[in-house]
Structure 1
Amino acid sequence: MPEPSLPGGFVNAVVRVGDTVRRPASAPFVGELLKRLEAGGWSGAPRYLGVDDEGREVLGYLDGHVAWEPNQPAAVSSDESLVAVARLVREFHDLTAGTPLAGDHEAVCHNDLSPKNTVYQPYGGQLRPTAFIDWDLAAPGARIHDIAHVCWQYLGLGPSVTDVEQVARRMRLIADSYALAGRHSLVPTILWWQDRCWRGIEAQADAGDAAMARLREAGAVREVRAAFQWVSDHRGALERSLR
């Protein structure tokens, strides 16, 4: 059976085989998480189907539009889609809270939420987010970690932002749609993510990780550090919107 490559993957090679996706195996935790989400009746993640004869992880294929290219339809970044993303995150957090998978933490976090890891499907004539993919970084954590990552990635926080007040309003929209408690920590958590991200790429690239070396060569460290500086510079406006 043909195995066409799926676009967008920078770190892992991912192919489609019929109605399944094959990719390098994740930690066993990921399979347990996906099975838990399926058992909870949640359709916002791929089904975990085991491991094939080549040792690859087998997941159910989710049909739809994955927003991995820089230029996207306006519906992908609309207020309505931001609301839907926040509510999807709330759903899987609530499904994992208080379970052995979350342990002593608030919930299980995806830890890499972005439009590139989101499947959009037509709803009422417009694309809307319906599922998240690439769960290999999932781990127990604090709910605010995922919401901070959502704000960073789905709002494109960084030097390309031209309207700070509009972005601040949309950050408040995400926090409200999730019903986030302790939102005074949201901007500091965005900065924590950005600092952690560029330092992690540097450290892993220096240690010989080929994928991280490619990311660094592609300018990822420079871009994330610029985003960190932008959030730092506009921290006051962003935090005022959350009061």
Structure 2
Amino acid sequence: MPESSLPGGFVNAVVRVGDTVRRPVSARTKFVGDLLRLFEAGGWSGAPRYLGVDEKGREVLSYLDGHVAWEPRQPAAVSSDESLVAVARLVREFHDLTAGTPLAGDHDVVRHNDLSPKNTVYRLVSGSLRPAAFIDWDLAAPGARIHDIAHVCWQYLGLGPAVADVGDAARRMRLIADSYALSDRQRLVSTVLWWQDRCRRGIETGADAGDVAMVRLRDVGAAREVQRAYQWVSDHRRALERALH
């Protein structure tokens, strides 16, 4: 069957073949396959199905139809309060499915580790786009619930210099935490800062080591952009934390 490149991929080459997605295997393929099979067994529709490996040695996943928000400009419904609530509830669902399983090990849950609009499939619900599933589970690993929620706050709210209203961003952080029913929210802002620092260091270290994908990210200014976001969150930390109490 003919193959067509899927948009939005910056690190891996991902193609669509019929109703499937093909992508390179990695050291994470077995874990991700086990995780996606766990979701399927639990009847959770918020992730692709794992279908094995094809004749070219690529992992095969089911194709999820919908709108993936990978472009900078998006319909207003993608960033609406209603969509934020739905994202937080989807995260809670897959966290709860993985809690106490062998895949989570000694940790709370299995976390996605790269939740963002670019990795979210939106579908029409009562005439408006709403998040329905998450894709790109390559970085999934055992961890704490708060790490995914902090990443959601950073990425879905665009926490950084482009934020026009700090008060509204703080309110929406509270909305995400409430919708997930996050208990240890006093560490949420510090965990956002941890993610941003980790991301910047990862890009710079990987690029210095010659990782082609990290070199590309550094060359387009990704590390500088993350550093500016980190500084913005640091500058407004008190206002963000105050809204979470």
Aligned to 1:138: 140
| Distance in 1 (alpha carbons) for counterparts of 2:188 and 2:37 | 30
Aligned to 2:20: 20
Offset at residue 25 of structure 1 (A): 1.3
Aligned to 1:78: 80
- Note the alpha carbon deviations across 1:170-214, whole angstroms, 9 max, x for none: 000000000001100000000000000000000011111000100
Q: What letter corresponds to residue 108 of structure 2 in structure 1?
A: E
Aligned to 2:215: 213
CA RMSD of aligned residues (A): 0.4
Aligned to 2:38: 36
| Distance in 2 (alpha carbons) for counterparts of 1:196 and 1:175 | 22
Offset at residue 71 of structure 1 (A): 0.2
Aligned to 1:91: 93
Q: What letter corresponds to residue 222 of structure 1 in structure 2?
A: R
| Distance in 2 (alpha carbons) for counterparts of 1:31 and 1:10 | 22
Q: What letter corresponds to residue 5 of structure 1 in structure 2?
A: S
SS at match of 2:51: strand
Q: What letter corresponds to residue 16 of structure 2 in structure 1?
A: R
| Distance in 1 (alpha carbons) for counterparts of 2:7 and 2:117 | 13
SS at match of 2:5: coil
Alignment of 1:38-187 (within 5 A): 38-187=40-189
| Distance in 2 (alpha carbons) for counterparts of 1:103 and 1:31 | 16
* 1:189 and 2:191 matched: yes
Q: Percent identity?
A: 81
Offset at residue 2 of structure 1 (A): 1.0
Q: Find runs of 4+ consecutive structure 1 residues off by over 4 angstroms.
A: none
Offset at residue 67 of structure 1 (A): 0.0
Q: What letter corresponds to residue 20 of structure 2 in structure 1?
A: T
TM-score for the superposition, normalised by structure 2: 0.99
Q: How many residues end up aligned between the 2 structures?
A: 243
| Distance in 2 (alpha carbons) for counterparts of 1:174 and 1:7 | 28
Offset at residue 111 of structure 1 (A): 0.1
Q: What letter corresponds to residue 181 of structure 1 in structure 2?
A: S
| Distance in 1 (alpha carbons) for counterparts of 2:51 and 2:185 | 37
Offset at residue 164 of structure 1 (A): 0.2
Offset at residue 17 of structure 1 (A): 0.2
Q: What letter corresponds to residue 138 of structure 2 in structure 1?
A: D
Aligned to 1:3: 3
Q: What letter corresponds to residue 7 of structure 2 in structure 1?
A: P
| Distance in 2 (alpha carbons) for counterparts of 1:9 and 1:24 | 12
TM-score for the superposition, normalised by structure 1: 1.00
Q: What letter corresponds to residue 22 of structure 1 in structure 2?
A: R
| Distance in 2 (alpha carbons) for counterparts of 1:153 and 1:203 | 22
- Note the alpha carbon deviations across 1:110-143, whole angstroms, 9 max, x for none: 0000000000000000000000000000000000
| Distance in 2 (alpha carbons) for counterparts of 1:201 and 1:218 | 11
Q: Which blocks of at least 5 consecutive residues in structure 1 are unaligned?
A: none
